[in-house]
């Protein structure tokens, strides 16, 4: 019986969860979309912190107070709105993460190739080669967590540290380039929104999500009520500094018109290296991006794989989803199934469009489906007495979902874009 499975161990303390939270919230992937906004994006980072991220931390802390023994999103929604809503909330989140894996692995592997220089980095334009190494990265990230969180946590910790080393390197690089040559971007901190830039705001909001993943791990955290709250607030403060300072550093080196979403960070490294006459910047940037990506995918994937446990025990999913390995004490079937679905979608979404367009489709689809569960999180926060956070989060979530249906300039075939988005939602 699934209900007889051994419970996961409480292996995680405040240090582990703070690094974990920083790894899943502060990610290199979202720096370049913000830089494409120009200096006005710094104000949007701050607004997003106030209207979405702080309410989310407040909501998750309140829900962990109510459910300190785990169960995550399924248990939160199930308790407040019934079993069907519990299943819907966690299942849409699970599917969104399965969709998230392809776009994330493509970004990190495509940039990681530049460790070996621009000639090898150009292999990122080869769809078959990039597909192969992206699939490999998904299984490396998830595989390190199969034998237990006591092993996998070091991968996530390294990912969090690498992310911050990358940010510090970008800031130092930007400062040196500015001192030698001046800024590549006129620093006019005015927010300009139009139909071409509105979708990027949705991505910036998605960048500051992820704290809920810490709450999903409550069953494996020592003193979960205290730990989740402190880790969430520390990660929030660092997130706004990370994104704002990293975005500014990229803009000091390159103007927005030259920044691409997929390769903007390594392009920044090449441009700064030319100004500073250093050849090591880009390989180091690529290395840090690669390490942070493996840690990010391992952390998010493992936490998400815990969601089906409660639903498997309640017989809403096949029994294998509720199994815990008798020796490793991990949801090994759930982790493997998540990896398999992510691999399938990674292959599927390379059809019918360019690599950049496929990447944008994956991003939009991830945001649309992935933000549906936040409606439940903030509604549960309202019922837990966090009224201001509940309203702010609900309104922000609805706006993000609507904006994500607007295609970016990378999309040439708008009808194909909308068909893929709507088709995926109907499945």
For residue 18, pLDDT over 90 is answered with no
Which pLDDT belongs to residue 175?
Answer: 94
Mean pLDDT to the nearest integer, 126-138: 77
* Maximum separation of any 2 CA atoms in the chain, in Å: 67
Which pLDDT belongs to residue 426?
Answer: 41
Mean pLDDT to the nearest integer, 393-419: 68
Mean pLDDT to the nearest integer, 88-113: 82
Q: What is the pLDDT of residues 220-239, one digit of tens each?
A: 777 888 888 898 899 889 88
For residue 247, pLDDT over 60 is answered with yes
Q: What angle do CA 174, 175, 179 make, to 5 degrees?
A: 115
- Which residues contact residue 379 at a Cβ distance below 8 angstroms, ignoring those fewer than 6 apart? 80, 81, 390, 394
Give me the phi and psi of 304, to 5 degrees please.
Answer: -65, -35
pLDDT category at 119 given cuts 50, 70, 90 is low
Q: How far apart are the first and last CA of the chain?
A: 30
Q: How far apart are CA 286 and CA 109, in angstroms?
A: 9
More confident residue, 150 or 113: 113
- By the 8 A CB rule, do 108 and 294 touch? yes
CB atoms within 10 A of CB 229: 18
Q: Which domains does the chain have, with CATH numbers?
A: 2-426 (1.20.1740.10)
Which pLDDT belongs to residue 422?
Answer: 47
For residue 333, pLDDT over 70 is answered with yes
- By the 8 A CB rule, do 37 and 353 touch? no
Which pLDDT belongs to residue 420?
Answer: 47
Which pLDDT belongs to residue 356?
Answer: 61
* Ranges 40-54, 60-74, 128-142, 367-381: which has the least confidence: 128-142
Label residue 220 left, alpha or beta by phi (over 0 means left) and psi (-120 to 50 means alpha). Answer: alpha
Which pLDDT belongs to residue 418?
Answer: 45
Q: What is the pLDDT of residues 158-199, one digit of tens each?
A: 887 888 899 899 999 999 999 999 999 998 877 776 666 677
Tell me the CA distances in angstroms from 281 to 78, 242, 267, 372, 415, one per residue in order: 49, 19, 11, 39, 40
3-state secondary structure of 71: coil
Which pLDDT belongs to residue 25?
Answer: 86
Mean pLDDT to the nearest integer, 98-121: 77
pLDDT category at 3 given cuts 50, 70, 90 is very low
pLDDT category at 146 given cuts 50, 70, 90 is low
Tell me the CA distances in angstroms from 192 to 34, 148, 204, 398, 423, one per residue in order: 12, 47, 15, 21, 32
For residue 363, pLDDT over 80 is answered with no
pLDDT category at 8 given cuts 50, 70, 90 is low
Which pLDDT belongs to residue 217?
Answer: 73
* Ranges 27-41, 81-95, 200-214, 342-356: which has the least confidence: 342-356
For residue 411, pLDDT over 60 is answered with no
Mean of the per-residue pLDDT values of the chain: 79
Q: How far apart are CA 104 and CA 126, in angstroms?
A: 17
- % of the chain at pLDDT higher than 70: 74
Closest CA to 21 of 160, 142, 162, 203: 160
Which pLDDT belongs to residue 252?
Answer: 95
Which pLDDT belongs to residue 310?
Answer: 59
Which pLDDT belongs to residue 173?
Answer: 94
User: What is the token pair recorded at 299?
Assistant: 């952390």
Which pLDDT belongs to residue 168?
Answer: 92
For residue 127, pLDDT over 50 is answered with yes
Which pLDDT belongs to residue 90?
Answer: 80
Which pLDDT belongs to residue 312?
Answer: 58
Which pLDDT belongs to residue 337?
Answer: 81
Closest CA to 377 of 3, 37, 79: 79
Q: What is the pLDDT of residues 256-285, one digit of tens each?
A: 989 888 788 999 999 999 999 888 888 999
Report the residue count for the chain: 427
Mean pLDDT to the nearest integer, 27-44: 88
Q: What is the pLDDT of residues 42-68, one digit of tens each?
A: 988 998 999 999 999 999 999 988 888
Q: How far apart are CA 69 and CA 416, in angstroms?
A: 44
CA–chain centroid gap for 113, Å, is: 21
**Helix-helix angle 41-48:224-253, to 10 degrees:** 170
pLDDT category at 376 given cuts 50, 70, 90 is very high
């Amino acid at each position: 019986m699934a209900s007889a499975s051994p419970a996961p161990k409480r292996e995680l303390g405040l240090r582990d969860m703070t690094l974990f939270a920083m790894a899943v919230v502060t990610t290199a992937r979202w720096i370049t979309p913000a830089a494409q906004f120009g200096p006005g994006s710094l104000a949007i980072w701050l607004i997003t912190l106030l209207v979405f991220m702080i309410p989310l931390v407040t909501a998750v802390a309140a829900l962990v107070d109510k459910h300190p023994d785990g169960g995550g999103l399924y248990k939160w929604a199930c308790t407040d709105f019934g079993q069907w809503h519990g299943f819907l909330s966690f299942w849409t989140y699970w599917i969104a993460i399965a969709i998230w894996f392809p776009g994330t692995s493509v970004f990190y592997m495509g940039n990681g190739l530049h460790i070996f220089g621009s000639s090898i980095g150009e292999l990122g334009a080869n769809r078959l080669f990039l597909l192969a190494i992206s699939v490999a990265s998904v299984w490396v990230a998830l595989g390190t967590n199969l034998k237990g969180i006591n092993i996998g946590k070091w991968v996530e910790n390294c990912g969090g540290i690498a992310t911050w080393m990358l940010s510090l390197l970008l800031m130092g690089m930007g400062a040196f380039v500015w001192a030698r040559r001046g800024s590549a971007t006129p620093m006019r901190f005015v927010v300009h929104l139009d139909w071409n830039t509105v979708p990027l705001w949705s991505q910036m909001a998605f960048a500051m999500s992820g704290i809920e993943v810490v709450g999903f791990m409550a069953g494996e955290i020592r003193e979960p009520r205290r730990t989740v709250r402190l880790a969430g607030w520390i990660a929030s403060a660092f997130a706004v500094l990370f994104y704002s300072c990293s975005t500014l550093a990229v803009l000091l080196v390159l103007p927005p018109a030259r920044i691409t979403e997929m390769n903007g960070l390594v392009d920044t490294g090449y441009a700064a290296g030319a100004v500073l006459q250093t050849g090591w910047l880009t390989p180091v940037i690529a290395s840090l991006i690669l390490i942070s990506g493996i840690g990010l995918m391992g952390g998010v994937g493992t936490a998400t794989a815990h969601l089906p446990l409660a639903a498997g025990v309640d017989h809403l999913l096949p029994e294998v989803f509720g199994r815990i390995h008798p020796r490793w004490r991990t949801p090994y079937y759930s982790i493997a199934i998540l990896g398999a679905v992510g691999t399938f979608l990674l292959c599927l979404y390379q059809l019918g469009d360019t690599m950049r367009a496929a990447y944008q489709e994956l991003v939009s689809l991830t945001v649309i489906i992935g933000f549906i569960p936040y409606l439940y999180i903030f509604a549960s926060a309202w019922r837990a007495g966090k009224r201001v956070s509940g309203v702010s989060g609900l309104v922000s979530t609805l706006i993000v979902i609507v904006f994500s249906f607007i295609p970016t300039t990378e999309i040439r075939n708008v009808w194909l874009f909308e068909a893929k988005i709507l088709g995926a939602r109907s499945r």
